[in-house]
Structure 1
Amino acid sequence: MSTGWRFALSRRWLGYLALVVIFAVACVFLSMWQLARRDEARAAIEVVERNWDAQPVSIDRALPELDEFDATEQWLPVTVSGTYLTDEQLLVRGRPMNGAAGFAVLVPFLLDDGSVFVVDRGWVPTGNEQDAPDAVPAPPEGRVTVTARLKPSEPVLAGRSAPEGQLATINLGQVEQLVDRPTYTGAYGVLAQEDPLPAETRPAATVRPEPDEGPHLSYAFQWLVFGVMAFIALAWAVRQEYRARNEDDPDEMARAEKRRAKAAKRSPSDADVEDALLDR
């Protein structure tokens, strides 16, 4: 007996519709989140392009307060003069480079006013037989002029520890406690140049970040497509049940016959298949 489309208003199908709507709304929010991630990536690229090759400025201009840092000044070069506190050198664990495990080399840099600016001199690989570098190149002795690019302090990671002389992250608050001097805790410097040059080849330098927005835009479109596909799938399911419930309806029987006729036209006959095999 024909029931028409009344079944689509049943509690079961309205429940399906509610689930699809919830799923589609979630897809929209996930798409917006991916677009926000893309905006963050593009903003980071703009910061690199604006600051990496900028003229160095004094540290007082870039960091007027020891504990403050403007994120828009990341990678901005600053010039400082003073002496390396080589005895206070620290190694930061878990710093891979080109797929190799290694350490970042942090050396506190004592400025003329008595404050300390932390310099990341570069990267050294993990040793062959121990969880530490085989050797760490020493910085220049005496008075040195350093140009370094600013980066923000890193947070402390819960559950991660490090042996004496090492850090789990570049957390400048921890460095200040270790050196026991007034220290810039808002940002540190990634070494660009030293004058005079060190006697030993310096640790591997940090390279300029590649401008990469990531796949966020394509992911955003994919989430929207998933939301649309959910409605298409629901419509297909409703249509299938309609056909099952109304198979004795004359109009539906006529439509079913037309579908079978079209399918038969699209399907090759046995003779066509045999001819195709003989032609090979």
Structure 2
Amino acid sequence: MYRFLLTRQWLITMLIALLLIPATIELGFWQLHRHEARVARNELIGRALTAAPVPFDTLSTAPGTAVPKDLTWRAVTATGRYDTAHEFVVRKRTDSNGTIGYFVVTPLKLSDGRGDVLVNRGWVASGDDATAYPPVPAAPGGEVTLTGRLRADETSAGSGIRDRAGLPDRQFNLISTAQQAEDTGATLLGGYLELTATAPAPADQPQLIPEPNHSDIGPHMAYAIQWWLFTAMIPVGVWVLARREARDRAKQAAEAAAPAEPVPAA
């Protein structure tokens, strides 16, 4: 009854099904791992943001130091004076509404003399001329104490942002201490501070970057379950198709074997 399963068409169908089963299982685990990574990231950010702030230079103690992953987003403080002569902006960054503008980054010379810290002071809108330096609220003068989030240097590989040359003066695509140290000769500690508060508070400042969302776990677990449900449906689908084919063939065979009805004489 099921000898048709040995035909070329059905052998190809079953081969495709056998290949799809491990592929969809693996795709499910891929989405599961993405879910686990998202949960771990959210937990890391949550712990970092609720921890008591520590001085920036206790976590980044040498120029060019890469920020460890488990310290990213850690609440930090820094005291010093802004070096406005080496301020720059980072192009094509968005605010919370998705409007494209610039991040304003100003180095802070630490009062203890251990180096300079890049400070992302926040977002400003683009001006009318993309080749000109945008209107930026002035950094506070005198000594200030900053509170913010510790962030790792941006890279093209990590951010997906192409770092191309030939940009207007004091405009960059990435926040990179290595790039700024080479450009200015300053002794910069690795990573940068993403500003959340300034004391004393300035009269005007760029729009502060909001706290990252660390409650959304994304759709990856749902996608994993969908892939595994699809895995279970593959053999069921092949069985349903085979049963239907068997019934159709049996019906055709029965119709062929039935005696023809006599034709009435005229």
Give the structure-1-normalised TM-score. 0.80
Q: CA offsets, 1:73-112, max 9 Å, x none?
A: 2221222222111011111111111121111111111223
Aligned 8 A contact 2:57 2:114 in 1: no
SS of match in other structure, 2:46 = helix
Q: What is the alpha-carbon distance in structure 2 between the residues aligned to residue 219 and residue 58 of structure 1? A: 41
Aligned 8 A contact 2:53 2:147 in 1: yes
The answer for unaligned runs of 5 or more in structure 1 is: 254-280
Q: What is the alpha-carbon distance in structure 1 between the residues aligned to residue 57 and residue 90 of structure 2? A: 26
Q: What is the alpha-carbon distance in structure 1 between the residues aligned to residue 3 and residue 177 of structure 2? A: 68
Partner of 1:17: 14
Partner of 1:190: 194
User: What displacement does 1:34 show?
Assistant: 1.0
Aligned 8 A contact 2:107 2:118 in 1: yes
Partner of 1:234: 238
Q: 4+ residue stretches of structure 1 with deviation over 6 A? A: none
Question: Structure 2 matches for 1:84-95, cutoff 5 A?
Answer: 84-95=82-93
Q: What is the alpha-carbon distance in structure 1 between the residues aligned to residue 114 and residue 67 of structure 2? A: 20
Partner of 1:101: 100
User: What displacement does 1:14 show?
Assistant: 2.5
Aligned 8 A contact 2:93 2:100 in 1: yes
Partner of 1:154: 154
Query: What's the C-alpha RMSD, in Å, of the aligned pairs?
Result: 2.1
Match of 2:180 among 162, 175, 178: 175
SS of match in other structure, 1:72 = helix
Q: What is the alpha-carbon distance in structure 1 between the residues aligned to residue 77 and residue 162 of structure 2? A: 34
Q: Which amino acid aligns with 2:13?
A: Y
Q: Which amino acid aligns with 1:83?
A: R
CA 1:27–1:137 in structure 2 vs 1: closer, same or farther (change >3 Å)? Answer: same
Partner of 1:75: 73
Partner of 2:136: 136
Q: Which amino acid aligns with 1:109?
A: L
Aligned 8 A contact 1:124 1:133 in 2: no
Q: Which amino acid aligns with 2:91?
A: R
Aligned 8 A contact 1:89 1:165 in 2: yes
CA 1:178–1:30 in structure 2 vs 1: closer, same or farther (change >3 Å)? Answer: same
Q: What is the alpha-carbon distance in structure 2 between the residues aligned to residue 86 and residue 40 of structure 1? A: 39
Aligned 8 A contact 2:66 2:153 in 1: no
Partner of 1:32: 29
Aligned 8 A contact 1:28 1:227 in 2: yes
Question: Identity of counterpart residues, as a percentage?
Answer: 32
Q: What is the alpha-carbon distance in structure 2 between the residues aligned to residue 241 and residue 159 of structure 1? A: 59
1:8 aligns with 2:5: yes
Q: Which amino acid aligns with 1:240?
A: R
Q: What is the alpha-carbon distance in structure 1 between the residues aligned to residue 163 and residue 235 of structure 2? A: 45
Give the structure-2-normalised TM-score. 0.84
SS of match in other structure, 1:205 = coil
Q: Which amino acid aligns with 2:186?
A: R
Partner of 1:63: 60
